[in-house]
Structure 1
C-alpha cells in the first residue's frame, strides 16, 4: 500500500478557533439545507426541561453527512477532480459523497459494508447516478475503509474520509453554527452522536469557540464505544468488534484529528444500550412524526440519560438527530424494545403451580399493572412456566412486582435486562406437549383496556385448563390472544355456551394446518 500522507495527516494541528474559521467559510449550502431546531413538547414536559431537536434528518440525503462530504469535495483542484474520489461508509457518508459527486461532476467509487441497510445502498445509487460505483466489502465501516484505501492506491484517487479530515470536520461543524444562531438564549448542553467523531469534533470546537459555557457531550452505543474508551485511556484504541444496530456509528477506531479535538473540547461521553435507543426513536416519532435511524436517535437517548441523572438544567438541552435512513423492517424490533428502554415494561419468567385457578391468582398478584405480553405452553404436570411482560412506570417497580410474585409462592426470574430472553426466547415458548389432550385452539379479540385479560380468565369454567396462551399488547384498540383450552368432548355444549356469553369475538383455529403441524399432539 502506498504510504503517502492523507489530507488529514498532512494538515496542521486543529484548534477550536481554526475549526470555527473553516466552518464559517465552508461551502455546504451549495447543496445542504439549514435544518430546523424544533422543540420536543411531549418530551420536554416529561423531562421537566426544554428539549430541542436539531433536525439533520431533514437534509436532502436524510443525514448531516452531506455537509462534510460536499465541503471536502468542493475543495478539490481540477487534477484531483479528474482522477475521481474514493470513499468508505456505512451508508450516510456514502449518500453525501454520491450527491456531491453528481452535483460537482466527479467520479466516485464508494465502498460500503455488506451489512449496510439496503435503503442506504439504494439511496447511494440513486443520488450518485452515473457518477458513482458502489462496492460492497466487509462487515463494518472499518472493513470497508481497508478496501477503500486499497482502491485509492490502485486508482490514484482522492480518499474522502467520513470523519478524520479538516474540511469534513468543518462541514459538520456548520451544524453548531446554525443551532447557536437559532437558539441564542440559555443553553445547558448539546448532545452529539459519535462514530468516528467528525460531528462531535466539529460541534464541540465551534461551541467552545463561540459559547464556552455550553456543555458538549458525545453519545455512543454500548457495543460501539471506541471514543469513550479512547478518551478514558488517553489514546486511540481499536475495538475487536462493533454492534451493528446503530450501524451509522459502528466504527472500530476513531480518527486522529477527531480524537485530539474531542480530548480538548468535549465535556463528557455517555453510553446507551439498544433499548434506550429504541425508546428515543419512539420519542422523536411522537414529537415530530418522523422516524430516525438508530444512530440518529443516539443523542436523544444520551440526553434523557443525562437529564435523569442531573435533574434541573439551567437552559435548554439539544440533541442532534443525525439521520433518518431507517430500514422499514427494523421498525418491528424498535417497537418491541422501546417499552423496555423507556422503563415502561418489565419482563419476567414466572413459575406457578399447574393447577386450576393459578392464572387468576397470578393476575391478582399484578394489582393494577397491565400485562403487555403473556406466553405459555403446558409442558410440566406440576408447574407452569410463563414468560410475561408487565407495564411499569419506573424501574423500581420491577422489584416490587418480583416480591409480589414471591409472596404468592411463585418462582420468579427478572429478564428485563437479559438480551437472550428479549431477543429470542420470548418467541420460543411452546411446542408439542403430551399433556395437551382435548385441546381446542381459539383466537379472541377484546377491547384493550385495564383488566380485560383478568376478566377473560375469570369467566373461564373452573374445570377447563389453559394449555397454551399468547398475548402481546401492540398499542391497538383491540387486544388479541391465542388460547389453548382443554375441554372434554362431553362438555362441548357447555363450552359453546361459554363462547357465546363471553362477549368477545372469537375464531376457532383447532383445525388450522400450522397448529396441527407444529403444536397439536
Structure 2
C-alpha cells in the first residue's frame, strides 16, 4: 500500500539521524535578500560533517538494519555525497562499506570517502553506470544495498531537513526550494511540509541538462535520460526513483530548470553572504529561488516581502573548478555582455569604437586584422542590470556599428573568447563541432585517437577548467567518402556533440 504524507510524517518524526547528523542553521542571506526584495533563508546542510545532507538518510536506513546484515557489510552507488554519508555511518556502526562511484567524481569526494575507511570502486561515467555495477557486487558478495534516494527510510531521513525548517521558522513561508537529483530530498521535504503546512509551496530545482524528474512528471512515468550534464555532478542522475517520483507528483508544486551560468552566479551569491563555497548541486536551490522571483517580476506579479527557504545541500567543491565558476558567474547574473562588433578596417577605428563605449568597464577585448572587409571585435563589457546588453547593441547601432549579443552563445563563452585569431583560407570547407566528454586523465587522448588519421583538424581548442567535463571545439575536414564513418564516430563515441558550422559567431571570427 502506497504511503501518504502522514505515513511519512510519522517516519520522519521517528527517524534516527541525530546520532550522527547535526541540526543545521537556518540563516538569512542579507545581501541576496535585499536584491530579491524578499527574505531568503539558507538551510545550511553544507555544514554537516560530510558537507552534505546525505548522511541523514544513510544513517536512518543503516541504523534500522539487523546486526547480522550490518556484519555482512553494505554497498552503495553515489556521485559522492551519499557515498561519504554511507562511509561515515559505516564507521560509526562498525561495518564494512563498499562504495561504487563514477570515474567522473571529483577527487575531493573520493578522498572524503576513503578517509572514513570505506572501500572505493570507480566505475562508469554516471551514477547509472555505478549503480548497475554496485548491484552486481551486492549479489556477488552478499552485501546490503543502501540506495541513495529510492528507499522510504532514506527519504524519511532526508525529510528531517523539513522538520527542522518548520521548527526554526514557525512564521509564514512562501516557498521552500530543493535541488533534485534522484529525488530523495524533495520527496522527504515535500511529504513532511504538505502534511503539516500545505500552504507552503515546495519547488524543485534541476540543472537544465539533468532534468529527469521534470520529464518523468510530465510523462507520468520514469524517464531515462540518454545522458546528463556533469557540472552539477551531485544531481547528475539519468533516472529518478519510483517512490521519489510518486511522492514528487503528489506533493511538489513545480520544478524549475536553471543553467550553468545561473548556478555559478548562485555559488557566488552564497559566498558573498556566508563566506562559504557550496558545490554546484548545493547552489541549485538558490539559483531556483532567484529564477522564481525574477519570473514573477517579468510576469507583472512581483513577489515582495515574502519568506523563501533554499536548502544549500552540499559543499564538496573541487577547488580547481572555482576558476570556471568565477568566469561564468558574471554571465549568470547578466553583469557582463559579450558582444561581436563590426568596425571599419582602417586606422583609428579601434579608438573611435572605444570612444563610443565611453567610461563603461571593459572586461575583455579581442581583435585580429583582416585582409578585407570590416574588422570584427569581441568585446566583454560590464553591465549593471539585466536587459542592458540589448540597450548596448542599440547604442552602438546609433553610432554606426553593427553589433551582435553573444552573451548566451555557448560557443562564444566556452571557446571563442579564448580563441579569436582571424579567418584562414585553408579552413574553407571545414565543419565545426563542440564536443563534451567526462573529464578524467587521458580523456582528451582517447577522444583524439578515435578519429581517423586522414580527418584533417583545421581548428582545435581545449581548455581544462578544473571541472568534470572536457570541452573541445574542433574544425574538421572529412573526406566525402568517410561520411558514414564520421557519423558513426559522432553517434557512438560516448560524448555529447553539437555542430556549430552555421553559428554566426564562428562565421564572424574564425
TM-score greater than 0.5 by the shorter chain: yes
Is 1:326 aligned to residue 317 of structure 2? yes
Distance 2:60 2:350 in 1: 63
Is 1:199 aligned to residue 185 of structure 2? yes
Is 1:150 aligned to residue 136 of structure 2? yes
For 1:272-351, what aligned pairs fall within 5 Å after superposition? Answer: 272-310=258-296, 311-313=302-304, 315-351=306-342
Residues 14 and 257, structure 1, Cα contact 8 Å, conserved in 2 = no
Match of 1:40 among 22, 29, 32: 29
For 1:72-87, what aligned pairs fall within 5 Å after superposition? Answer: 72-87=61-76
Residue 174 of structure 2 aligns to a residue whose secondary structure is strand
Q: TM-score, normalised by structure 2?
A: 0.80
**Residue in 2 that maps onto 1:31:** 20
- Structure 2 CA distance for partners of 1:94 and 1:185, relative to 1, 3 Å: same
- Structure 2 CA distance for partners of 1:19 and 1:237, relative to 1, 3 Å: same
Distance 1:430 1:346 in 2: 20
Distance 2:73 2:259 in 1: 39
Residue 179 of structure 1 aligns to a residue whose secondary structure is helix
| Structure 1, unpaired ranges of 5+ | 1-11, 434-521
**Residue in 1 that maps onto 2:387:** 396
Distance 1:215 1:314 in 2: 16
**Residue in 2 that maps onto 1:241:** 227
Question: Which aligned runs of 4 or more in structure 1 are off by greater than 6 angstroms?
Answer: none
Measure how far apart 1:431 and its partner are.
Answer: 7.7
Residue 307 of structure 1 aligns to a residue whose secondary structure is helix
The higher radius of gyration belongs to: 1
Residue 138 of structure 1 aligns to a residue whose secondary structure is coil
Residues 56 and 158, structure 2, Cα contact 8 Å, conserved in 1 = yes
Measure how far apart 1:401 and its partner are.
Answer: 1.1
Q: How many residues align?
A: 420
Q: TM-score, normalised by structure 1?
A: 0.79
Match of 1:93 among 79, 82, 87: 82
Question: Which is worse superposed, 393-402 or 272-281?
Answer: 393-402
Match of 1:355 among 333, 346, 357: 346
Indicate the RMSD between aligned Cα atoms, in angstroms. 1.6
Residue 8 of structure 2 aligns to a residue whose secondary structure is helix
Question: Which is worse superposed, 253-262 or 359-368?
Answer: 359-368
Measure how far apart 1:346 and its partner are.
Answer: 1.2
Is 1:159 aligned to residue 145 of structure 2? yes
Distance 1:363 1:48 in 2: 36
* Cα shift readout 1:328-359 (whole Å, capped 9, x = no counterpart): 01101000000110111111111211222212
Is 1:179 aligned to residue 176 of structure 2? no
Residue 338 of structure 2 aligns to a residue whose secondary structure is strand
Measure how far apart 1:327 and its partner are.
Answer: 0.4
Residues 377 and 429, structure 1, Cα contact 8 Å, conserved in 2 = yes
Residues 276 and 342, structure 1, Cα contact 8 Å, conserved in 2 = yes
Is 1:268 aligned to residue 257 of structure 2? no
Measure how far apart 1:368 and its partner are.
Answer: 4.7
Distance 2:206 2:304 in 1: 22
Residues 336 and 383, structure 2, Cα contact 8 Å, conserved in 1 = yes
Is 1:122 aligned to residue 111 of structure 2? yes
Distance 1:331 1:430 in 2: 27
